[in-house]
Amino acid sequence: MSVADTSTAAPNVTEAAAALQGQLHVQASGQVRGLDERIFGFNRLLIGIVKGSIDAAYSYQDDGTLRQDVRRFYVLETVARVPYFAYLSVLHLRETLGERDLRETMRLHYAEADNELHHLLIMEALGGNATAFDRTLARTMAFFYYWYVVGVYVLSPEAAYHLSELIEDHAYDTYDDFLGEG
Ligand SMILES: [Fe+2]
């Protein structure tokens, strides 16, 4: 493929985001199924446990240095990018099974995963992954979280997006608190 072909085939993330927002709006305007409500509740519980565990683990070891914050951010960024490639895994499977209208949604989630990868690379460059404890904690959580998100996305994409919303809200609060301390 030529360079020109590549540029014309480049994902239009803005259009994809608008399309997905439209789909979610249509879903949200419909009746929320009982299954969704139960998953929503479990999502809140799960994120509360994950957040509480990370906060407890790092406040226990807190020595007041920037390095300490970067270690915690490394764990958060490792876990926070999981949903996007979990969505992509399921969407690839659905595409393999015959669905043909997933392209824009997949491009959006690929862009999101790429964006989150850069956050993770920044934390690694700052030394967030220097200890075996942090790497083990982050990767173990990411491994199990991946399978949970895959399962939820199969059952209810809306509930899976709710999970991402909770994670991103937590990330926003975490960085906002950090900036407030500075
Ligand atoms: Fe991030």
- Name the token pair of 88: 């992509």
CA distances 151 to 28, 136, 139, 144, 147, Å, are: 20, 23, 19, 11, 6
Smallest CA-to-CA distance from 77 within 178, 159, 180, 170 is with: 170
pLDDT score, position 133? 92
Cα-to-centroid distance, 117 and ligand 1 (Å):
8
3-state DSSP assignment of residue 42: helix
C-alpha span between 81 and 65 (Å, rounded) = 25
Cα-to-centroid distance, 81 and ligand 1 (Å):
7
Return the residue matching tokens 């937590």. 170
C-alpha span between 59 and 52 (Å, rounded) = 10
pLDDT tens digit sequence for 41-92: 888 898 888 888 887 878 766 677 777 889 989 999 999 899 999 999 999 9
Cα-to-centroid distance, 124 and ligand 1 (Å):
13
On average, the pLDDT of the chain sits at 82
Per-residue pLDDT at 10 exceeds 70: no
Q: Tally Cβ neighbours within 10 Å of residue 112.
A: 20
Cα-to-centroid distance, 35 and ligand 1 (Å):
29
Which CATH number covers residue 124? 1.20.1260.140
What does R_g of the chain's alpha carbons equal in angstroms?
18
Q: Measured in whole angstroms, how far is the alpha carbon of residue 124 from the centre of its chain?
A: 17
Cα-to-centroid distance, 164 and ligand 1 (Å):
11
Cα-to-centroid distance, 1 and ligand 1 (Å):
32
What pTM did the predictor assign? 0.75
Q: Which domain holds residue 143?
A: 3-181
Cα-to-centroid distance, 116 and ligand 1 (Å):
5
Domain count, the chain: 1
pLDDT tens digit sequence for 13-24: 666 666 666 665
Cα-to-centroid distance, 119 and ligand 1 (Å):
5
C-alpha span between 83 and 123 (Å, rounded) = 19
pLDDT tens digit sequence for 103-157: 999 999 999 999 999 999 999 999 999 999 999 999 999 999 999 999 999 998 9
- DSSP per-residue letters across 28-47: HHSPPPHHHHHHHHHHHHHH
3-state DSSP assignment of residue 102: coil
Cα-to-centroid distance, 69 and ligand 1 (Å):
14
